[in-house]
Amino acid sequence: MKKLGFGLMRLPQISKDDYGSVDIEKVKKMADAFMENGFTYFDTAAPYYRGNSEVAFREAVAKRYPRTSYTITDKLSLFMIRNAEEMEGFFESQLERLGVDYMDYYWLHGLGGPSFKQAEEWRAFEFVQRKKAEGKVKHIGLSFHDKAELLDEILTKHPEMEYVQIQLNYLDWEDATVESRKCYEVATKHRKPVIVMEPIKGGSLVNIPEEAEKLYQDYRPDSSVASWAIRFAASPGNVMMVLSGMSDEEQMADNISYMKEFQPLDEEEQKIVEQATKIIKASIAIPCTACRYCIDDCPKKIAIPDYFAVYNNLKRFGGPQGMVARTYYGNLTQTHGKASDCLKCGKCEKRCPQHLPIREYLEAVAGELE
């Protein structure tokens, strides 16, 4: 397979204010372009767009293409169900929303310390193995958001896992929290091919400081900023696939342009990325990827990732952005809880794949924008 996967986590929306509203007609056009250029790998999960990502796949791909012409990955999201007995029904509902009889790949979703313990207690590893034995899943594995040491423990205990999906990008490659490089090395040690998520860190590696962007433009004037991030993620030899969440046809066309005939970064390009990384790290106040896992359980319905994006823009561009940032913030608070409404319950932090101190950051947001 070509190394670019269509990540159905960031899709075109009919309404920006309605997270569940997917523009299926646009998704159809994007899927057509994707497959016409020889790409076949799609990735989704039940939490994405409240299940409508799976539905969008059914309408755009499963209903319109032969089953042998694509592969689909979905995930067992244990945080969405109440007990082990619900896994069967959850799985069957996914097949129905996808419009397929079997999944090519099925992951235990977002494993970390607490969720690994839950998966063990609920015998979720045995469940996905059973689905494979039944022919309803071709390959099993896990997506992972935690330290490399835990990943090593999981893969040692569960060698039946065939693949590992990890967050990998040049900003997190040496990050002490995400440990992209170390997780990649653990997966490689266990001979598990790696699927990459968050290669552009939720858009953070597209909207980069001018100084970093100039480094890229001076070396490759015709290449997009995003292409550097995607190519970095796809360059390690044990990376099987890089997922890109594309929200419009332009992003799809750009990704196809350099991934159709993929060329790994050369030594000089690696050095340029290292320089850009230093510049970018100095400019980001809150390293949120806008995955939105944090918002569903928030009792005050606080628009956490949106507030963080506004705050980051304010911190990055300074004083002139103050009025603009406060205007955007004020608009958001008309339909969402304010940052200062936070009850400090910590539910958001338990769901955050980046392990961010969200409650502390919300205090900072309130201090600047209220």
At 323, the pLDDT band (50, 70, 90 cuts) reads confident
Tell me what pLDDT residue 331 has.
Answer: 79
Q: How is residue 353 written in tokens?
A: 């794949």
Tell me what pLDDT residue 318 has.
Answer: 65
pLDDT digits (tens, 9 = 90+) for 235-262: 999 999 999 999 999 999 999 999 999 9
Tell me what pLDDT residue 16 has.
Answer: 82
Q: By the 8 A CB rule, do 213 and 225 touch?
A: yes
Considering just the CA atoms, what is the radius of gyration of the chain in Å? 20
Report the mean per-residue pLDDT for the chain: 94
Q: By the 8 A CB rule, do 48 and 8 touch?
A: yes
pLDDT digits (tens, 9 = 90+) for 37-96: 999 999 999 999 999 999 999 999 999 999 999 999 999 999 999 999 999 999 999 999
Mean local confidence (pLDDT), 206-229: 95
Length of the chain: 370
Q: By the 8 A CB rule, do 339 and 294 touch?
A: no
How far CA 44 is from CA of 3, 28, 219, 291, 344, in Å, comes to: 17, 15, 35, 13, 31
Instruction: Give percent above pLDDT 70 in the chain.
Output: 98
pLDDT digits (tens, 9 = 90+) for 122-162: 999 999 999 999 999 999 999 998 889 999 999 999 999 99
- Is the per-residue pLDDT at 321 higher than 80? no
Tell me what pLDDT residue 96 has.
Answer: 98
CA–CA separation, 301 and 338 (whole Å) = 9
Instruction: Give percent above pLDDT 90 in the chain.
Output: 80
Tell me what pLDDT residue 325 has.
Answer: 78
For the range 179-185, what are the long-range contacts, defined as Cβ-Cβ under 8 Å and sequence gap of 24 or more?
Answer: 179/147, 179/148, 182/147, 182/148, 183/144, 183/148, 183/151, 184/236, 184/238, 184/239, 185/148
In this structure, the number of other CB atoms found within 10 A of the CB of residue 321 comes to 15
Q: What is the pTM of this model?
A: 0.84
pLDDT digits (tens, 9 = 90+) for 338-365: 999 999 999 999 999 989 999 999 999 9
Question: Would you list the DSSP string of 131-184?
Answer: HHHTTSEEEEEEEE-S-HHHHHHHHHH-TT--EEEEE--TTTTT-TTT-HHHHH
* 32 Cβ contact partners less than 8 Å away, ≥ 6 residues apart: none
Mean local confidence (pLDDT), 106-126: 95
At 19, the pLDDT band (50, 70, 90 cuts) reads confident
Tell me what pLDDT residue 272 has.
Answer: 98
Tell me what pLDDT residue 326 has.
Answer: 83
